[in-house]
Structures are given as C-alpha cells and as structure tokens.
Structure 1
Amino acid sequence: MFEILKASTGYFWRLKANNGETLCHSEVYTTKQSAQNGIAAVKQVAPGAPVYDRT
C-alpha cells in the first residue's frame, strides 16, 4: 500500500508491504498533489520496470 505523510517541509509517500515493512519512500514534495502524482507515476511505470542486476 502507499501512504502519504506530512513532513516539516512538505509531503512524501511510502510504499509498504503487507507486513507493514517500508519498501521504499519518495523525496519530499512541496504539495500533496505532487506526492499523489508521484504515486501515480510509480503505479504506471512499476509493472513494466526492468530489473538490472549490476552486481
């Protein structure tokens, strides 16, 4: 799930697993709408995002 949180300087989002563990988080956005747009972008790109193993 995604959650939107308030930071001292704006808003950010977290992507959490079913067990509640944070998988990743965003930068801090100046507006809540920008954070929501970030979530929408991740949802659009992530299903087809390639994985590059650079080990």
Structure 2
Amino acid sequence: MFEIFKASSGGYFWHLKANNGEKLCHSEVYTTKQAAQNGIDAVKRVAPAAPVYDRT
C-alpha cells in the first residue's frame, strides 16, 4: 500500500509498505500533494516492467 504524509518542513512524501506493514521505500518530498500522488502513479505505471540489474 502507499501512504501519503505531510512533511514537517512542508510538502508531501509517500511510503510504499508491504502487506506486513514493513516500509519498502519512500519518496522525495514533493511541493504539493498532487505531485506526491503523481509520483505514486508513476511508480505504479513503471514498476511492473522495471528490469532488475544484479550488480553484485
């Protein structure tokens, strides 16, 4: 799930959480709530096709 938060310094950011509640990743701080939502939409759109590069 995605959660949107208001930053203490102003702006908005999001977390992506697993089903067990563990935070998987977080975003940068966006200037508007709509920009944060746009970031979520971009991740949803791109993630299914995102390649994995093993750099080990």
Of all paired residues, the percent bearing the same amino acid is 85
Helix, strand or coil at the partner of 1:12: strand
Q: 1:49 deviation in Å?
A: 0.2
Instruction: Kindly report structure 1 stretches of 4+ aligned residues shifted beyond 4 Å.
Output: none
Q: Supply the AA of the counterpart residue of 2:2.
A: F
2:6 is matched with which residue? 6
CA–CA distance in structure 2, aligned partners of residues 5 and 47 of structure 1: 24
2:39 is equivalent to residue 50 of structure 1 = no
The unaligned stretches of length 5 or more in structure 1 are none
Q: Cα RMSD (Å) of the superposition?
A: 0.5
TM-score normalised per structure 2: 0.95
TM-score by length of 1: 0.97
TM-aligned CA deviation for residue 6 of structure 1: 0.6
Greater strand proportion: 1
| Number of aligned residues | 55
